[in-house]
Amino acid sequence: MKYDVVVVGSNMMELTTDVDRMPQLGETVAAPSFHTAFGGKGANQAYAAAQLGSKVAMISVVGDDSFGRDYYEHFQQSGIDVSAVEVGHQANGVAPCFIQGNLNSIIVVQGANAELTPAMVDQHRDLLAKAKLIVLQQEISLATDYRVIEIANEFGVPALLNPAPANDEINYDYVRRVQFYAPNETELGRLTHLPVATLDEIKVAAHQLVADGVQNMIVTLGARGVLWVNATTELLIPAETVSAVDSIGAGDAFVGAFAHYYTAGSDIPTSLQQANHYAALTVTKPGSQTSYPRADEM
């Protein structure tokens, strides 16, 4: 079976508590509400692409607990191929999130995601070879990302690396080996060690990476839009004006939507524009995956 998108990455159960104020150390406070939701950067990106109609497979590890079982079933119900989703020995990854007004604090517990190893990836080489595009992030080990990039290069499959969360230990040689490198401006600054406070500074940093061998820079800029830079092109696509409610997961929605439109045959500028529109829609509703519309809801 051929796949439009194969995502190699994390899954997390989001454990969200709304608080009137954050507790001090040693203090207990009452909270008005709590809810759980499906999240994690890899799973979010896979879900967005699947919502839009892509044939998606996920390579991931869920936990040997109720959260893991729930997530496995959620993948299946979302139309995501789970033939390479394994059950690990640890509890599922979780992300406790505390929201106070427009501010949030998040703790990431990797859990079973740590069991997604290069050796496991090797077991699913055939799956990766059948992809039109492979999507990666950095909530799994860099060694695993590197192995996926090696396999992608071996089979001539393009790969997109979303370097989130940022990791200063990344081997720059592997950044050169993906077709698309998609940081936000903060992650761009950490990799280049250049200032990224203004749009002009961001452009300089992006061009520096292209000069150093990166094929396509896709820099997400939040309210400023998205910047695409390669050896011959510099294109800024402005953000759409919307009434934002919750921006959590918008970057993942953008990546998943770009993967969908690009593998469906759109050129890069069109794919970026459509992904920009999709991400804008998601910030008008609360939550990550719960805010991702289907194609018929666009």
Annotated binding-site positions for substrate: 40-44, 139, 252
Binding annotation: 40-44, 139, 184, 220-225, 246, 248, 251-252, 276, 282, 285, 287, 291
Distance, in Å, from the CA atom of 202 to the CA atom of 135, rounded to the nearest integer, reads: 23
CB atoms within 10 A of CB 177: 18
Backbone angles phi, psi at 296, to 5 degrees: -80, -5
In contact, 141 and 115? CB cutoff 8 Å: no
Two tokens at 99? 């929201």
Binding annotation for K(+): 246, 248, 282, 285, 287, 291
In contact, 146 and 163? CB cutoff 8 Å: no
From 4, 65, 145, 252, the catalytic residue: 252
Binding annotation for ATP: 184, 220-225, 251-252, 276
Instruction: DSSP for 191-224, please give it.
Output: HHT---SSHHHHHHHHHHHHHTT-S-EEEE-GGG
C-alpha separations of 204 from 81, 183, 185, 208, 293 in Å: 40, 14, 12, 6, 35
With CA atoms as reference, report the closest residue to 235 among 270, 190, 189: 270
- 64 belongs to the catalytic site: no
User: Mind telling me the catalytic residues?
Assistant: 252
